[in-house]
Amino acid sequence: MRRLLSMSLAAAAIASTSTAAAHNTPWAWTQTKAARIVMSDATVQLPPAEKASLESELRQAWRLYRLLAMAADEIGVSAPFGGLGRHNVHALKKVRNGLGIVAAACKGLGKATQANRFKHFRCAVTSETIEIPTAVLVPPEPGAELPTAIAGPPLIIGPLEAQLDVHVTGKSWIAYHQLGGADG
């Protein structure tokens, strides 16, 4: 608990340092450059309740498929459990780290410096999607030791729309904050 608190305080200190640096940076960008950097460096976070729920579901599915894959390996049976587990881990990483941005439109905020350049931007962004594998486990047939996995169509989340408050912190660096929750 103490470690989690110290990590949270360190993250807050880094974020406030980045934001403070954004107000004093000599760098100012065009709206086009801001959109390009946002697309490469920023992410869109899911709403907190949805994120927590998906993380829990994906962790449980990964554990189940990992155990089934180990059991299949142990008895020498070929089964898709390992692949389903890997797909769940990939989706879990996207849920935890945020979704990449595939489109951004940024508008400069405040007074422009030289040649229509700004230090602050408001960016409307569109995220990538997450594909979460779905499968139904059918109980083992007589004589079989493991259930059968029947893959279904993936659950697709996104693309999400969001607004980011972006501050220039360096030549090609930003600090950003997502305003409100993401809309699906």
Chain centre distance of CA 86: 17
Tell me the C-alpha distance between 114 and 28, whole Å.
8
Spell out the residues 6+ positions from residue 140 whose beta carbon is closer than 8 angstroms to its own. 146, 147, 148
Domain boundaries, the chain: 27-183
pLDDT at 82: 84
For residues 116 and 104, the answer to whether their CB atoms sit within 8 Å is no
- Say how many C-beta atoms besides its own lie within 10 A of residue 58's C-beta: 23
pLDDT at 23: 57
pLDDT at 141: 85
Query: What sign has the CA pseudo-torsion 60, 66, 72, 74?
Result: negative
pLDDT at 75: 87
Average pLDDT by consecutive 10-residue portion of the chain (184 residues)?
Answer: 42 47 74 96 95 95 92 85 89 96 96 89 97 90 86 92 96 92 62
Q: What DSSP letter does each residue of the chain carry, written as one string?
A: -HHHHHHHHHHHHHHHHHHHHHHH-S--B-HHHHHHHHHHH-EEPPPHHHHHHHHHHHHHHHHHHHHHHHHHHHHT---THHHHHHHHHHHHHHHHH-EEEEEEEEEEES---GGG-BSEEEEEEEE--EEEEEEEEEPPPTT-SS-EEEEEEEEEE---EEEEEEEE-SSS-EEEEEEEEEE-
For residues 22 and 169, the answer to whether their CB atoms sit within 8 Å is yes
pLDDT at 104: 98
Tell me the C-alpha distance between 8 and 94, whole Å.
21
Residue type, 135: A
For residues 38 and 124, the answer to whether their CB atoms sit within 8 Å is no
